[in-house]
Structure 1
Amino acid sequence: MNEKGLIAVGCAATVGLLLGGWLWMENRGSDDPFAPCRTSVVAGGTEQLGGPFELTDETGARITDADLFTKPTLLYFGYAYCPDVCPLDNSRNAEALDLLSAQGVDAQAAFISVDPKRDTPEVMADYTFNMHENMIGLTGSEEDIAAAAKEFRVAYQIQDDGTPDYLVSHTTMTYLVLPEAGTVEFFNRDVTPERMAEQVACFANAA
């Protein structure tokens, strides 16, 4: 399956999450402190997205999800050699961080590689340095990444054909993770940086 095909699968999965969670959201009602901020619904709640993991950051240090999520975090799975989708999505996330900073909201972005063969800590450090000062790059072993991706229901497929420029298909949602609260929202690719910043600020202020 090529990258566009897997993105389409990701979109279909998103629709399923929305439809599957509608009744749950109706029943939850005012018990949700973030209700005024939400636009996405996941069956069982967005807290079903995410869980414990351990990865390697861009300095080579091992960190856990608890180490990472110390402030509102825009989390994205992709890879540094991605020719088009990842740079656009990460740039959008970086722009949202600048808009949030102007509003006094302290937030960060995290970029988890699904391509451990090429994405060493050094590669991730260079990538995030050029993207945004408040973006953290994470990589790890194949097992580390598979475990983290599973927690967030991220699908990916490495199409290693033996050439240096092989592609990796992956889903492309950005997750908003808050300290203590966990995953509270996800954003599709068509969300603008302005809209993303508006929603992140809403969640951060409601936390």
Structure 2
Amino acid sequence: MSRLVAAVAGGTLAAVIGGTFAFTQLVPAPACGPVVGGDIGGPFTLRNDAGAIVTDRDVFSEPSLIYFGYTFCPDVCPIDNARNATAVDILADQGISATPVFVSIDPDRDTVDVLHGYVGNFHPKMIGLTGSHEQIAAVSQAYGAFYEKEAGGDPDFYLVAHATSTYFVKPETGVVARFGRDDSAEHVAAVTACFITG
């Protein structure tokens, strides 16, 4: 009787182990997350921090993390840009090349030279973009990146309220993911890598 019980138990254990192995081999890894896409993003023409006129196709030549802010921003923008730069470095350590992109929502103060110095402080690959008020308004609206200049006050030392999302863009695909302020560099890199490598 004890031999029969032992045999049945052994067979059951083997079946469970075998079934678990088969399940883990057949079921795909968890998805990278919901694809944002939809109506977010689109074509644009702006000026980069080297002074050249560029389009979205020029900028998004490889996977990119795009963020909207301004160089005079006292706290949020430096933290988020540093996070995105770190995520790009983490990806580079994994053999994945990506580009951090910074779009200024303050074209009056963020000239090409100001942008060039600013993005260079965060990452050698970071691209700074600016343009006319109309161009910036159009691209910001396309990405759902709200911003509003502070009313009144000193005309040279005003603040700009703005959204703080970072968008992950794949060439030929468009926006596939959006990250918030609380997402760590490790999380941004992991999700980005997942969408790139599948």
Conserved in 2, the CA contact under 8 Å of 1:110 and 1:136?
yes
SS at match of 2:47: strand
Cα deviation for residue 120 of structure 1 reads 0.4
1:171 partner amino acid? A
Partner Cα separation in structure 2 for residue 69 and residue 98 of structure 1: 17
Task: Select which of 163, 169, 180 maps to 1:171.
Answer: 163
Equivalences for 1:79-118 in 2 at 5 Å?
A: 79-118=70-109
Partner Cα separation in structure 2 for residue 204 and residue 122 of structure 1: 33
For structure 1, the residue ranges without an aligned partner over 5 or more in a row are: 1-34
1:134 corresponds in structure 2 to 125
Cα deviation for residue 110 of structure 1 reads 0.3
Larger radius of gyration: 2
Partner Cα separation in structure 1 for residue 95 and residue 179 of structure 2: 21
2:168 partner amino acid? L
CA deviations on 1:52-92 (whole Å, 9 max, x unpaired) are: 11111001111111111110100000000100000000000
1:69 corresponds in structure 2 to 60
Partner Cα separation in structure 2 for residue 97 and residue 109 of structure 1: 7
Identity of aligned residues (%): 48
SS at match of 2:31: helix
Conserved in 2, the CA contact under 8 Å of 1:110 and 1:135?
yes
Equivalences for 1:176-191 in 2 at 5 Å?
A: 176-191=168-183
Partner Cα separation in structure 1 for residue 74 and residue 192 of structure 2: 27
Cα deviation for residue 204 of structure 1 reads 1.1
Task: Select which of 187, 193, 197 maps to 1:201.
Answer: 193
Partner Cα separation in structure 2 for residue 119 and residue 101 of structure 1: 29
CA deviations on 1:100-147 (whole Å, 9 max, x unpaired) are: 000000001000000000000111100011110111000010011001
Partner Cα separation in structure 2 for residue 135 and residue 41 of structure 1: 24
Partner Cα separation in structure 2 for residue 85 and residue 162 of structure 1: 21
Conserved in 1, the CA contact under 8 Å of 2:167 and 2:179?
yes
1:37 partner amino acid? C
Q: Report the TM-score, using the length of structure 1 for normalisation.
A: 0.78
Partner Cα separation in structure 1 for residue 39 and residue 48 of structure 2: 24
Aligned length: 168
SS at match of 2:77: helix
Aligned-residue RMSD, C-alpha: 1.3
Conserved in 2, the CA contact under 8 Å of 1:58 and 1:138?
yes
Conserved in 2, the CA contact under 8 Å of 1:96 and 1:193?
yes
